[in-house]
Every structure is written in C-alpha cells, then in structure tokens.
Structure 1
Amino acid sequence: MDLAIIALSARPLAASAARAGLAALALDLFADLDTCAHAARCVRVHKKDGFAFDGDDLLQALASLSPPGLPVVLGGGFEHDTALMQRIGERNPILGNMAETVRVLKDPIALAALCGHLGIPFPAITLEAPTGELLTAPLLEKRIGGTAGFHIHPRAPGDISPPAPDYYLERQVEGETYSLLLLSNGKEARAVGAVRQWLDPTPDRPFRYGGAAGPVALPHGHGPAILAAATKIATLCGLVGLISFDLMIAPTEWWLLEVNPRPGASLEIFDVDPMPPLLALHLAACGGKLPQALPSPKEVMAAAILYADHQVMIPNGDWPPEVRDRTAAGTVIPEGAPVCTVKAHGATLEAARAGADARLAEVRQRLGLPGGDGAAS
C-alpha cells in the first residue's frame, strides 16, 4: 500500500492514484463501484450528522487497515472538522496542508482580513447581527466550512438577527461562478486551469452545486489579477499541493469567495491526458517540486452531479457510459442525496455542458426520476 486517501467521496483521488500507478487505501462515505475498482482497498465509513465523517469510526478503520506512518491525502470533508485532521495526523503523516492552515483559511473573518491586507476583493461578512452597509445589502447565510452549497441560504430582507451558531453572513455579490485550480510548493505556484461552475437548485437548497466544466478562460480580462491574487495567498500562507479558489466574476469586478487548501471537485476535470496524474503532481509539490509548465486538455470536460429527487433504488443492468460514482444494484439512494456523476467532453464549454445534460437525462430516465432542468448560474 502506497498511501491512504480519505474524502467524503474518494473516487476522483483514487482514480488519479491508479493513473499514477499508486496502490491506495480509500476511505469514504460510499465505497462505490468506481472507487473500489481504482483502489487497492476500499472501505465505507459511517456517516454522522447527515453528510459528515463519524470521526471515531474513521480512525478505527484507518488504524485497522493501515500501518502507522502510511502517508494520507485528504480530500473534502474536513473543512469544519480540523480537529479530526489533527487526530489523523498524529498517526499518519498528511501529504498536504495541515489542520492549522485549513482552520485559518476556512475562518471567514481570518480570510477576509488576509484579503484586505493583500488588496484582494472579498465580500463584506459578519459573524454578528448586520450593521452598516450589511443592513440594507442582500445577504447570504453560510455555514463555516460548508461544502457543495447545501448550507447556503438567502437572508430574508429586513432580518437583522445574528447568524446561527457556526454560520456567518456574507454580502451577496452577482456574477458568474468559477474556480481556479493551483499547484503550489509553498514558495511558488503554477496554474492548472479554471472551470466554470453551475448550480442545481431546489426550493430549500437554492445554491446546491450542480457541476463544472473546463478548462475555460477567466472572463472579462480578470485572469491575470486573479492568478496573481491566488499566487499571493498560496505563497504567503505556504500552501502546498493542489488548491482551489472559488470566485464570482462580473464584467467590471470580481471577488474571491473561498479557498479550499486541498484537492477539490475540479480535479477530475483536469486529470486527463495530456495532463500528468494530478495526485502525482500534488505529492511532488508537497515535497517541494513543481513542473516547469503544465499542458492543457485538448477538449473541455464537463462533470455534473445527479441528485435523487425522491428515494430511488438502483436497478439491475449496466450504467450508461461516462457515468462515475456508480453504486451497486439494489442500493437505495435517499431523497436529496447524490446518485452519480456524469461526464462529457466537447470542443466548447457549451458543447460539453450540453453533453452532460443529455447524459443526466439518460440516467434520470433509467432511474425513473423527473426530467428537471438545473438552472445554470
């Protein structure tokens, strides 16, 4: 066993490990067919609080299946539980950014202060009742360390109460959502590429993440300033490995929304030929090594998530091509949970997105789910 991979969904990292010729132990909440096919050993750990790790169960699985000192790469799922990161790091070295770094960058007050110091545009935020410009501005209420947009809700106009515990208020800014993936060794950085993101909203989850496609150019001429800002943060904070920067971009201005100091959802967009395996690049960057340059995929790749509009049981038979995160026949997916990811590629962003939408419709029909039209944002 070369390393362990731990994430809410370990499949993209496990696929990259296999592409790099690495034997991985994968621990996540699903242990789906794809993850098990890519990993040397694949284990599903218990959930807690809906869609989070049961830390004790995770640590018990890691201890029973790996020797002390086996390196670990962490994906999504630790943004609001850096204490669990620390517990993992006491036994297994983490190849990536440490819990203390993640804690600071996922603290909205700390990130806002850093951006203010560096002159990087960042929406106004507060952990308390809104005052000043926030009294009349449209606001979003976000969970600290939340992921996939499930936790984001618009604040009712005129509501001047403080946010709920572990939440903060953010001035809502308008534009198009993008994410920039960066590779850093703590002293310098290389841009891997940018993706355009979209939503798949529901009435109670209006900012639910829907998918992404790339590589794309950051629009309106903002690319150089955004890359410079991301590089400043990466080098000033000594970040290592793959890091993603979530952005809102309008014609005349842009804002940094979040920094995710670990491999993110855009990994599978770029982990294709002629790009080297991104996990291998991540490991090398953690050791201080960066490539002189990185190639770019020849086509645009789109990856979209299908959610269960109602409880569904996976039927017998083969999944359609380009479906990832496949679960075994007979698995029951609860309402609102992710069912699978579909992928498509094309010469343009529009073509790749259309291909993903067509595959979503195909899988919906197979599963007996409503057609649905996820609104792009």
Structure 2
Amino acid sequence: MTETVLVAGYATRHVARSARRAGYRVCAVDHFLDIDLGWNVIDYAGFEELADLPAAIDQICSRNPIDHLILTSGAETIACPGIRRAGTDPETIQKFLDKSSIQKFFSEIAVPHPTLAATGEFPVMIKPVSGAGGWRNAIVRTEEEKKAWIDGMELPYLCQQFISGLPASVSCVSDGRRAVAIASNEQILRGFGDSAFGFAGSITPCDHPLADRMMAVAEHIVAASGCIGSVGVDFVLSDEAVAIEVNPRFQATLDTVESSIGTNLFTMHMDACFGRLPMARPRPRRYAARRILFAEKDCMIRSHLDRFGAIIADIPRPGTEFSEGDAMVSVFGSGESREAALRMLDNHISVIRQYLE
C-alpha cells in the first residue's frame, strides 16, 4: 500500500516533489503555497506565522492518515505525538539550530572552522545564534558597524573570524552513526545589500580542488552528529575546507543535487532512516544550476508562469504581490560542464524576467 508523508515547514515544494517522484502520497504544510506545490500533493494547508504551523499540521492530520512526518526549515523541533518522524530527533536538531553549539561541536571533533572573534577584533562575521539561510549574516569592520547590526537585529548573536573563499556545501545521508556524501555544491549568495550572505541558488557538483576533501570532512561531521536522513554541511573553501554550519534537514540544494546525480534524494533519505546507506558516493552525471530571482522593487505577478514549469520552480500565482527583495521564483539550467549549465541558466533567466514586472 502506498504510504502518505506529511512535509511541513516554511518552504516545502522541493521536498514534496522529490517525495511524490519517490512514489509516496504527499501532504504539505507550507507558507508560500506556490502553484507547483499543488502539482505534487494530494492535500495542503498554509500558514502565515510560524506560530500557526502546528495548527495547520493538525488540520492536515484531521483529513489524512499520515505514515511519516518530514519537517523542513522553521518546523524542525515541532512535536507531533502519534506521527512517526522520519529524520533527526528534536533534541539533536536543537543542538544544530544553535550556532554556538555548532561551534563547540566542531571544536570537539577537531574539524577546521571559524574561531570566535576576540573583543575588538575586526573584520568579523556577525550572525544570529539561530536562523537559516544566512539572510542576517554580515561582515562588520568597526565597533560602530557592530553596534548598528546589534541594535537593528535585537537577537542573540555571535561573532566569528571572517573566512574569505568560495561558499559551498555537501549533501549527505546518515543512519545516525555512518554518513555518505551524496553531492558537493557551490552556493550562490545574494552578494549585495543587507542580505549579501543570503542563499540565492546552487551549482552541483562543486568544481573546486578541495571538493573531495570537503566531502570527506562532511562525512566525518555528519557521522559524529547523530543526525539521521538528509543532512547538509556548509563550508567556505579557502586554503582548506572550513566547516561553517550543519543543517539537520533537507537542504535548498535538493533540486540541483537530484538533477546532477540522477537519483531521488527522498528515497535515499527514507532508506537512511531505516539504516540503509549507499554503498558509495553517487557520481555526478551533469552540472545543474538553480538561481532564485528576487523582486527588484515592489511589484505584482500578473502572468501565468506555470507554462514555464519545465525550467522554473516555486511558481507564484497571478496576483501575488512582492516587496522589494522578496524571493519570486527559481530558475534552472543544466549542461555537460559548469559553463554550459550557467549559459542555459542565463538564457532561462532572460526568458522569465520579462514576465516578472
């Protein structure tokens, strides 16, 4: 009998699509409720604030028998008694949602990572202790800049040594004791404004001399973490592979990973939850790229973008309003080389941009 999974979190489209392609019946609780989420689920519910998410989960569960619960960003620690959680337990997840705990963990297992900055040391990377996606991270170079960031955020924070280099990540699967690296990824960041370090896309595989070393370090990290299922590790590649964070959930690189290796990541996640890991790292078949397009000004989508479903994802409905800086849509490209994948991506972006005003 086909099992039903509930995918819940702030953004779930990528996981829901992978789960459907893996043969599951899929329900979702999601903030955006994009058009292509509806293509992949049998039922869904929305929420505005994260505090409303548990009620939306209860709403779905009242209408559907759920066999497995998959929690994505924003929902990782929610308790849902009576539903089997497929993934890392809440206590372990909580450890890796706290960046100060991650700092201590990296020290304990002796992997290269940014050190905590000393008082008066500049420049430094300042970031909230909790939160995903890098949106609030910033480089501060003076006490005045540091104070302005603290006053503007009003959140617990930490300051780390700033490491320059290529932002990258590794996607792994783990059974809680062993881990296998599935793919290396080059991360695309916003690169400007208040969200300069915010995630804006990925290229899989990562073309860097340290990519293999990074994958080995990621396997060591994830195996020691106790996390189960799909787990990601963020890095900066400079003179060495420097570990930045652990993401104990499906990552935003899922689309390019699956496109590159030609293997369903949700199936690998569920297998890992039951103690089954790949015998070896998958070999990439091609390069895959994804870029998130952001609103350059306040605007409304009037076009029916679903007709471009072969080259885009996270498709907004006509009439959706965006404020300047909001994520609007994801665009894809692929090819036999990194350059070919980026050329296709740029061509697709040129096509889509004319419909975003």
Change (3 A) 1:15 1:63: closer
Query: Whole-Å Cα distance in 1 between the matches of residues 51 and 312 of structure 2?
Result: 25
Are the counterparts in 2 of residues 121 and 256 from structure 1 also a CA contact under 8 Å? yes
* Letter matched to residue 124 of structure 2: L
- Select which of 55, 62, 65 maps to 1:64: 62
Partner deviation per Cα, 1:149-177 (whole Å, 9 max, x = no partner)? 21112224134769543222222110001
2:155 is equivalent to residue 165 of structure 1: yes
Q: Is structure 2 residue 20 aligned with structure 1 residue 18?
A: yes
TM-score (norm 2): 0.89
CA distance in structure 2 between the partners assigned to 1:200 and 1:139 by the alignment: 19
* Bigger mean CA offset, 253-262 vs 345-354: 345-354
Structure 2 CA distance for aligned equivalents of residues 94 and 205 of structure 1: 33
Q: In 1, Cα distance between the equivalents of 2:259 and 2:62? A: 33
The Cα shift of 1:254 comes to 2.8
Q: What amino acid maps onto 2:232 in structure 1? A: S
* Aligned position for 1:147: 132
Say if 1:29 and 1:53, in contact at 8 Å, map to a contact too. no
The count of aligned residue pairs is 348
Tell me the amino acid that sits aligned with residue 171 of structure 1. Answer: Q
Task: For 2:54 and 2:43, locate their aligned partners in 1 and report how far apart those are by CA, in whole Å.
Answer: 20
Aligned-residue RMSD, C-alpha: 2.3
Q: Does the 8 Å contact 1:10/1:27 carry over to 2? A: yes
| Partners of 1:322 and 1:143 in 2: CA distance | 34
In structure 2, C-alpha distance between the alignment counterparts of 1:232 and 1:71, rounded to whole Å? 28
Matches of 1:108 and 1:367 in 2, distance apart? 36
* Structure 1 counterpart of 2:86, from 67, 79, 95: 95
Secondary structure of residue in 2 paired with 1:213: strand
* Aligned twin of 2:243: 256
1:277 aligns with 2:267: no
Are residues 272 and 64 of structure 1, via their aligned partners in 2, closer, same or farther at CA, if it must alter by over 3 Å?
A: same
Task: State the alpha-carbon separation in 2 of the partners of residues 222 and 361 from structure 1.
Answer: 30
Return the alpha-carbon distance in structure 2 between the equivalents of residues 173 and 63 of structure 1.
45
Task: From the two aligned structures, give the one with the greater helix fraction.
Answer: 2
Alpha-carbon distance change, 205 to 272 in structure 1, aligned in 2, over 3 angstroms: closer
Does residue 137 (structure 1) correspond to residue 122 (structure 2)? The answer is yes
- Relative to 1, partners in 2 of residues 1:367 and 1:248: Cα closer, same or farther, differing over 3 Å? same
Residue 329 (1) aligns with residue 327 (2): no
Contact 1:108 1:125 in 2 (8 A): no
In structure 1, the residue corresponding to 2:19 is in which secondary structure? helix
Structure 1 residue 274 displacement after superposition = 6.0
Aligned pair partner of 2:37 in 19, 35, 38: 35
Equivalent in the alignment of 2:205: 215
1:304 to 285, 291, 299: 291
The one-character-per-residue Cα deviations of 1:107-141 (angstroms, maximum 9, x if unpaired) are: 22222222112221111236xxx52xxx2231122
Whether the aligned pair in 2 keeps the contact of 1:177 and 1:249 (CA below 8 Å) is yes
How far the C-alpha of 1:12 sits from its partner, in A, is: 0.9
Counterpart-to-counterpart distance in 2, 1:317 and 1:303 = 21
Q: 1:103 aligns to what SS in structure 2?
A: helix
Question: How far did residue 353 of structure 1 move?
Answer: 2.2
Q: Mapping of 1:196-211 within 5 angstroms?
A: 196-211=186-201
Structure-2 change in CA distance of 1:207 and 1:234 (3 Å): closer
| Unmatched tracts of structure 2, length 5 or more | none
Q: Deviations over 1:8-52 (max 9, x none)?
A: 2111111111111110101111111111101121222x222xxx4
Letter in 1 for 2:48: K
Answering whether residue 346 of structure 2 is matched by residue 357 of structure 1, we say yes
Q: Distance in 1 between matches of 2:184 and 2:51?
A: 29
CA contact (8 A) 1:8 1:53 kept: no
Residue 108 (structure 2) pairs with residue 117 (structure 1): yes
The alpha-carbon deviation at position 332 of structure 1 amounts to 1.9
Counterpart Cα distance in 1 of 2:242 and 2:52: 34
How far residue 53 of structure 1 moved from its aligned partner, in angstroms, is: 5.4
**2:8–2:75: 8 Å Cα contact kept in structure 1?**
no
Distance 1:292 1:309 in 2: 45
Aligned-partner Cα distance in 1 for 2:224–2:186: 26
Residue number among 68, 74, 79 corresponding to 1:77 in the alignment:
74
TM-fit CA distance, 1:249 = 0.5
CA distance in 1, matches of 2:282, 2:127: 36
CA distance in 1, matches of 2:260, 2:42: 23
2:230 to 238, 242, 265: 242
2:215 corresponds in structure 1 to 227
Residue-by-residue CA offset, 1:167-220 (whole Å, 9 max, x unaligned): 222221100011101111122221111011121234222222221111234x23
Q: 1:235, 1:158 → 2: CA distance? A: 39
Match of 1:340 among 329, 347, 350: 329
Secondary structure at the aligned position of 2:354 is classed as: helix
CA distance in 2, matches of 1:208, 1:190: 27
**TM-score scaled by length of structure 1:** 0.85
Unaligned ranges ≥5, structure 1: 369-377
**SS of corresponding position for 1:310:** coil
Residues 5 and 360 (structure 1 numbering): CA distance in 2 closer, same or farther, change over 3 Å? same
